[in-house]
Amino acid sequence: MNEALSIDNLTKKYKNKIALDDFSMKIMPGEIVALIGENGAGKTTLLNSICGFIRPTSGSISFKGISSEKEKTLDKIGVLIEPSFLDYLTAEENLQYLSILSEDKKNSTLIESLLQKTELSDSKKKKVKTFSFGMKQRLGLCQSLLTDVELLIFDEPFVGLDPVGKELFKKVILDKAHQEKIPVLFSSHDLDDVEEVCDRVVMVRKGKKVLDQKLVREKTFILKIDGNISTEEKKKLELQDPTILCEKDCIFFKNEKNIVDIQRILLQEGHYIVGMSIQNNNLKKLFLAEETI
Ligand SMILES: Nc1ncnc2c1ncn2[C@@H]1O[C@H](COP(=O)(O)OP(=O)(O)OP(=O)(O)O)[C@@H](O)[C@H]1O
């Protein structure tokens, strides 16, 4: 097991408040892991601990086998947690300033390409104090990619972004993880966004890990017909797709390839299809099931 990040028995107490409680998890290279959980569950505390912004009460964090106690890991991490900028400088100047500060100095070509990637090129000469929240979030993404990072940590990256901004972020996350094998850990409350990008989901509740599961993306196709399905008709459909489910006037199936044949059988039996929908809410079901425990 050559995990990129290993978090072992991490506990963080703020006075009497236990924000993280004996939390352990591992992330493999190129894996995209989403942290989900209700407000105050401990997600930001975990992300801040990994980045070294706060000191855990006990437990350990190691990156590529090296304990964060032994070696400073922050310069290897691209971070987006409540980004802050120098408001009186322009977007471009902020990135130039950060680039000068970092040991891993990058030229203006990278800055320009990041501004382009996040569609901020037209605003690069504007002072950051005139930026909207979503624009600052985009600039925060540029900032996190300014150095050659080996791990990406994002706290609620999709908040405040318009649909185009969200797609930009998702593309960066997917490219960095799946092409460059950089592990990505991010928190989010938006389960649709999470479902779109992550490979694994970890749920936190009251500082404890309550779920750690690979995400299986599974769609259910639902056909609604003009009347109830008979037992004979159901048998014919099951010959086509043994996993099919029929309930009154609805037919549920998962294999998209069967759609034409199922429609053909229904039409042969004299039925009309009056509606079709696709259910894609596996994570929501999982979340709600866990939340009610
Ligand atoms: N600096 C602090 N001092 C005291 N308590 C804190 C501090 N920071 C966080 N907490 C508490 O620790 C717990 C975990 O907070 P954290 O911000 O990690 O949760 P979260 O899962 O990120 O929540 P959200 O989804 O609302 O952002 C909460 O009960 C919070 O009130």
Q: What CATH code is carried by the domain that includes residue 187? A: 3.40.50.300
State how far the Cα of 254 lies from the Cα of 240, in Å rounded to an integer: 12
State how far the Cα of 172 lies from the Cα of 152, in Å rounded to an integer: 10
| 148 band by pLDDT with thresholds 50, 70 and 90 | confident
Task: Say if 91 falls within a structural domain.
Answer: yes
Q: Are residues 152 and 225 in the same domain?
A: no
Give the end of a domain, one of 186, 214, 242.
Answer: 214
CA–centroid distance, 60 to ligand 1, in Å, is: 20
| pTM reported for the whole predicted model | 0.81
CA–centroid distance, 44 to ligand 1, in Å, is: 7
To test ligand 1's pocket by mutation, which of 14, 81, 159 has the most ligand atoms within 8 angstroms of CB?
14
Average pLDDT score over residue span 69-81: 79
Q: DSSP characters for 1-49?
A: ---SEEEEEEEEEETTEEEEEEEEEEE-TT-EEEEE-STTSSHHHHHHH
- Domain region containing 239: 220-285
Task: Say if 292 falls within a structural domain.
Answer: no
What is the side-by-side strand order in the sheet with 151-155? 77-80, 151-155, 184-187, 32-36, 200-205, 208-214
Q: Are residues 130 and 20 in the same domain?
A: yes
Q: Are residues 237 and 186 in the same domain?
A: no
Closest ligand 1 atom number to CA of residue 45: 18
Ligand 1 lined by 205 (C-beta under 6 Å): no
> Residue 18 in contact with residue 46, Cβ under 8 Å?
no
Closest ligand 1 atom number to CA of residue 207: 14
Closest C-alpha to 35, from 179, 216, 275, 198: 198
To test ligand 1's pocket by mutation, which of 13, 43, 186 has the most ligand atoms within 8 angstroms of CB?
43
* 86-114: pLDDT as tens digits: 889 999 888 888 887 765 555 678 888 88
CA–centroid distance, 17 to ligand 1, in Å, is: 9
pLDDT at 215: 84
| 279 band by pLDDT with thresholds 50, 70 and 90 | confident
Structure tokens at 204: 């936190």
Q: Are residues 85 and 183 in the same domain?
A: yes
Ligand 1 lined by 48 (C-beta under 6 Å): no
Give SS3 for 62.
Answer: strand
| 281 band by pLDDT with thresholds 50, 70 and 90 | low
pLDDT at 104: 56
Task: Say if 293 falls within a structural domain.
Answer: no
Q: 40 φ, ψ to 5°?
A: 80, 10
Nearest residue CA, atom 26 of ligand 1? 39
Average pLDDT score over residue span 168-185: 93
Give the type of residue at 122: D
Q: Are residues 195 and 235 in the same domain?
A: no
State how far the Cα of 203 lies from the Cα of 35, in Å rounded to an integer: 6
Nearest residue CA, atom 6 of ligand 1? 14
Average pLDDT, the chain: 89
pLDDT at 217: 76
Ligand 1 lined by 17 (C-beta under 6 Å): yes
Task: Say if 269 falls within a structural domain.
Answer: yes
Q: How many domains does the chain divide into?
A: 2
* 207-216: pLDDT as tens digits: 999 999 898 7
pLDDT at 130: 94
pLDDT at 210: 94
| 291 band by pLDDT with thresholds 50, 70 and 90 | low
CA–centroid distance, 54 to ligand 1, in Å, is: 12
Q: Alpha helix locations (H) across the chain? A: 43-51, 91-101, 108-117, 133-144, 163-178, 191-197, 231-240, 259-268, 282-291
Average pLDDT score over residue span 42-68: 92
